[in-house]
Structure 1
Amino acid sequence: MHRLFAELEPSVTVTEQNLADRVRYILRSNTFDVTELERLRREAVPSSGENAAAEDAAPQLAEQTANVDAAVNTPVVVDSNDDGTVAQELELEQMRSTLEEAIVETRSTTLENRPRLPRLALSKRNRAVVRALNPMLVTYLEASRDLCDTDSILFGAALAVCRIIGAKLSTAGRATGQSSAIPAWRIRIEERIAKARALIGRLICFRSGNTRPRIVRTVRMAFAGTNVSLSQPDIMQKLTERIDDLKQRIAAWGKRIRRYTERSTRFNQNRLFQSDQKRLYKSLERPIVSGTGPAPNQADMVAFWRSLWSEPVNHNEGPWTEVVASQCASITPMDPVIISRMT
């Protein structure tokens, strides 16, 4: 191809690699269709007898173009002397091996531990991979034992497609749909709370009379940048004010965590309501808490409720009941309601 291009365009200096890159870009970007490429080839290669060598090289140009396109879409590295058929067979064999490994792995993995598959772009390469794997699934589907095995085969095929095209797979399980990792903002706030609590503990120790060098050094660091000195007479009051300030900061940070957590929960519930309402309602259900002791028998239950409803009780009514009775004396009583059976 490079020799033919040099004969057609002797004034243009181009390397073999640069020419192959140009051809690869034209073929992959679909700049020209098949008819336009054929017309350009006929115009570029004259049909006179003087350029018979150029006409003989034209089929070689088309063959080399096909080989370049096959090399672009083939993940297997083959020798330059091999033709496109060998490269295609090696590619199909590697895809078949990847498919078999994915199906075996999926069959031995529970549904909760399967990775979440990403959404793939509808590119020509991805469609070509799917079209190549579809005929390979026939053998597995015909030997499927039940619906669960069919599901494992189909999921394994989708997993194989993701691995062939190099898509990123999530390591999190499919059960929760959310990562269980603690957010970075919460980790930072909790670290502040832990440091503040440790500082409060050392300030209290110093206020109680503990003058160890480590405690004294911490107290001096707590009052760094202020005009407070440990030898001044109102140091105990300053310690109390500093401790109260730290406690208020801890309370504010705790409220911030609760506020952020509630907002995140509302956001996830609203998003889940749009996508899967059944799953949302199931997550809102509270577990039924039952007693661990033995259930009461019928005689005990009857005796308990009989003591409440059947035995007369003399209530000690105070003077307020007479006031309420005098206020309600002017209220007209409601007519009695008689419920009869409809015939």
Structure 2
Amino acid sequence: MRWTKSMNENALRAYYRAKGEETAGIAYRARMHCFFAELEPSIPVTEQNLADRVRYIMRSKIFDDAELERLRREAIPSSNESAMAGDAAPHTTDQLPRVEAAMDLPVVVDSDDDEMVSHELEQMRSILEEAILETRSTPLENRPRLPRIPLSKRNRAVVRALNPMLVTYLEASRDLCETDSILFGAAVAVCRIIGAKLPMAGRATTQSSAIPAWRKRIEDRIAKARALIGRLTSFRSGNNRPRIMRTVRMAFAGTNISLSQPDITQKLTERIDDLKQKIAAWGKRIRRFSEGSRRFNQNRLFQSDQKRLYKLLERPKVCGAGQGPEQADTVAFWRGLWSEPVNHSEGPWMEVVASQGASITPMDTVTITPEDVAEAVRRAPNWKCPGLDTGCINTG
């Protein structure tokens, strides 16, 4: 079907009239189709074809701004006519300023991108409002994890188009929590508009505990090997069901072993032992990889947050078990070791050492005051071990 100028004008009239009466989402398309059928009853066209045609007209700029304004005024009654209409269509005049404001929104896009027409902006506004309402009613722990979107020209244009729409919500924000909900809802709206996949609610809290891909692959191999061992053992015990026979034939496929050989029992035993050795090797590989990953994570955590590492290393069954000693018993124990004078029986070698050090000037007596201890502790980093041995964990 070839569209003429009058058909294009009627399509725009139907579009402006539908948008003036219905601005939520894409519900205007049905109304636009009805209005166009009244203007052009002899032209068979679907809602989708009509919407695509309006998009093409807006994007290709068949009509200039003056003609678009004339068609819009012809489609939408003026304020005087609306006032005379009374209560016949009260929502039309209420929603008209929103439509005009949406059409006047500045859309900054690159020259290579398709321009965003007014109905696209209305759809984006509806998606934004819906996302903000959902975010406000969703607890923080149930919010989806936002994916990282590529910085393409189209994505930047979507962000630049949504930024002016956020001004009204941010100005009405009452506290920081509501501002956070607005910004998070805007990010969700961007993801929905560009088609980015959002994980299910509450998925963000389970990502850190997911099984690594390498471990899952090895565990799948172990599960398949154990299932095969079970089938081979069942066949060796005399089970000749078709499902078992098919599995055994697949296990010996590509070899010169036939199930009718007299030594098939020995071959089955060798195959089962081989699978058991593979399972043991895969299990050791999982333990080795897990231990290496644990050491790597601990060393990295030691460099960034030692306090958190030591808390992770604590063993509740050992450190927190039982009741601690009384303070008086502790003081009496250490006082008996350090405060009471002790007479030692020295050997003859002490006389030799004393004669050799007789010419050495003795060092002045060192008195350690509480101020000295406080100064040393103040300069020491957190979780510093006492003594010379400060390597609490392997950091190599």
- Report the TM-score, using the length of structure 1 for normalisation: 0.49
TM-score normalized by structure 2?
Answer: 0.44
